[in-house]
Amino acid sequence: MIVSINNVSKRFGKHEVLRDINLEIQNGEIFGLLGPSGAGKTTLVRQLVGLELPSEGENHLFGQKMPSLKLIEKIGYMAQSDALYTELSAKENLEFFASLFGLNGAQRKKRILEVMELVDLSEHLNKLVTNYSGGMKRRLSLAAALLHEPELLILDEPTVGIDPVLRQSIWAGFYDLKAKGKTLIVTTHVMDEAEKCDRLGLIRDGRLIAVGTPDELKTRTGSSSVEEAFLAYGGVQHEN
């Protein structure tokens, strides 16, 4: 297993954002964290990349307790807000991020071209990011997360603001990464994206209320869609 979340809770003052989360994510799967805004998805993935600490419990990636600087090169992270330098071009942004991961010379140039092609931004490589639309910035952020070919990709709402046709293309890219043995964790509140995941963790009010494949979740609840299954689970903890 690549991710192990053990009895994790998180409080900000008296407000409990995560409540006793236990979850294991296997190598080579696309795992979706599905829940409404404010459910705790972002807090959980920020802990997995070491940006936040749990109030209780532990998170382990690749068998090591997080946070761990040793694991940075194995993880690609795309946050909800774009961490880009808008006064620089897309190419300059990617060159900067590539340098952080030790990519140099021909390898750096090759990877920049590859990730820009994946997110359909090749024509805009030299454009200043300040002139990018919101959807283009999301795609550039995804390209930056993919640059160093991480073993684990953690993507927080990666396709928000991206049109449906391009969203399909990006998901095709996710499947290609999975075929290469990569593991992806994707947070979403978009139901058709949830259907594309190998397994889902349903989160509501900081609690993990169910885990399973989309088909398993639908079968258990007698539902015809993931959305129906999520509503059927409601705030009640079912057996996983």
| CATH of 3-233 among 3.40.50.300, 2.30.130.60, 3.40.50.20, 2.40.430.10 | 3.40.50.300
What sections of 65-190 are H helices per DSSP?
Answer: 90-100, 105-118, 134-146, 164-179
Task: Tally Cβ neighbours within 10 Å of residue 51.
Answer: 14
d(CA 199, CA 30): 7
d(CA 161, CA 136): 9
d(CA 116, CA 6): 37
Side by side, the strands of the sheet bearing 207-212 are: 75-78, 152-156, 183-188, 30-34, 199-204, 207-212
CB 170 within 8 A of CB 158: yes
Contacts of 83 (CB under 8 A, 6+ apart): 141, 144
19-77 pLDDT tens trace? 999 999 999 999 999 999 889 999 999 999 999 999 999 999 999 999 998 898 899 99
Helix, coil or strand: residue 156: strand
Label residue 165 exposed, middle or buried (CB < 10 Å: 0-12, 13-18, 19+).
exposed
The count of C-alpha atoms lying within 13 angstroms of the C-alpha of 168, restricted to the half-sphere facing its C-beta, is 2
β-pairing, 75-78 with 30-34? unpaired
58-67 pLDDT tens trace? 999 999 999 9
Radius of gyration (C-alpha) of the chain in whole angstroms? 18
Q: Is there a cis peptide before residue 67, judged by omega within 30 degrees of 0?
A: yes
d(CA 23, CA 44): 11
What's the confidence (pLDDT) of residue 238? 41
Q: Which amino acid is at 80?
A: Q
What's the confidence (pLDDT) of residue 55? 97
What's the confidence (pLDDT) of residue 50? 92
What's the confidence (pLDDT) of residue 163? 84
Name residue, tokens 């454009």: 127
**What's this model's pTM, rounded to 2 decimal places?**
0.91
β-pairing, 30-34 with 199-204? parallel
Low-confidence ranges of the chain (pLDDT < 70): 235-240
